[in-house]
Amino acid sequence: MRSLQRAATGVYAALTAQITATTALVIFEETRGHRLAQQLASFGGDPNAPGAAEVVGAVTVFAILMMIVVATALIAAATYLVWLRRARPNSSATSVLAAWLLPGVNLIIPPLLADWAWQHTDRQGRTRWLTLLTTWWTSWLIVLWILLIHLPGSAGLTGLGPSELAMITLAALLCATTVREITTSRVKSRAVSHTPSPMAQFRRTAGSTRKIA
C-alpha cells in the first residue's frame, strides 16, 4: 500500500512540474513569443538574414522551454501509468498501456480503468466520484482538442495563452484529485480490513484470560 502512496506522490509532483513548465512557456509566449514569431517569419528561414543573430537567444530560450514542457508531460504520463498499474494490480502493464496509447480506445477506456480501480475501495460516495471522474475526463478531452486541433492554426509560436493554460491546469488538478480519491480510499479500506471486529477482539481477550487462569 505504501508503494501506491509513493506512486500517487510521484503523480502529484510530476503534474506540478508540468503545470509550472507550461506556465513558463505561456509567459514567454505572451511577452516575447508573438513578436519572435513575426521576426522568424520575416527572415524566411534564412539564418544569415539581417537581424537573425539578434533572436538567437530568444529562440534558444523557447527551445529549452519546449523541451522541458515535453519532458514533464512525458514524466507525468509515466508516473500516472505506474500509479494506475499499482491501483489495479490485476491489470497487466500491457493492457494499461494499450488503453492509453491505442487511438480511439484511449478516448474511452482510461476513465473506465480509473473507475474500476475506485470500485476496489470502500465505494462510498458513488455519485460524487462519478461526477469527479466525468469532469476530469471531459476537461482532458478538451485539452486534447486544444493541442491537436486548436493550437496548430493559432498565431504565435505555440498558440498557448492564459485560457489554454487555465484548461490544462484544471485537467491536471482534476487528475490529481482522482488519484488522491482512489489512493486515500484504498488506504482506508485496507486499514478497515486489517482492523479486528469488536467480537474478534472480545474473543481474543477472552482466550487470553482463560490461558492466564
pLDDT digits (tens, 9 = 90+) for 173-190: 999 999 999 999 887 766
Q: How far apart are CA 40 and CA 102, in angstroms?
A: 36
Q: How far apart are CA 159 and CA 66, in angstroms?
A: 13
The angle at the Cα of 185, spanning 184 to 188, to the nearest 5 degrees, equals: 90
pLDDT above 70 (res 195): no
Is residue 108 included in any domain, yes or no? yes
C-alpha separations of 33 from 19, 24, 40, 136 in Å: 19, 12, 10, 30
pLDDT at residue 194, as a whole number: 46
Mean pLDDT of 83-111: 89
Q: In Å, how far from its chain's centre is CA 123?
A: 23
Is residue 197 included in any domain, yes or no? no
Is residue 205 included in any domain, yes or no? no
Mean pLDDT of 113-136: 90
Q: What percent of the chain has pLDDT over 90?
A: 54
Q: How far apart are CA 204 and CA 202, in angstroms?
A: 5
Residue range of the domain that includes 62: 2-191
pLDDT at residue 206, as a whole number: 53
Q: How far apart are CA 159 and CA 30, in angstroms?
A: 10
- 167 contacts 143 by C-beta, under 8 angstroms: yes
Is residue 46 included in any domain, yes or no? yes
Could you give the number of structural domains in the chain? 1
Q: How far apart are CA 187 and CA 133, in angstroms?
A: 19
Is residue 206 included in any domain, yes or no? no
| Structure-block grid coordinates of residue 72 | 514533464
Give buried/exposed letters for 117-136 (b at 16+ CB in 10 A, else e): bbeebeeeeeeebeebbeeb
Is residue 209 included in any domain, yes or no? no
Is residue 200 included in any domain, yes or no? no
| Structure-block grid coordinates of residue 165 | 493554460
Cα end-to-end span (Å), the chain: 40
Residue 163 φ/ψ, nearest 5 degrees: -70, -40
| Structure-block grid coordinates of residue 67 | 523541451
pLDDT above 80 (res 47): no
Model confidence pTM above 0.75: yes
Is residue 146 included in any domain, yes or no? yes
Number of H helices, E strands in the chain: 8, 0
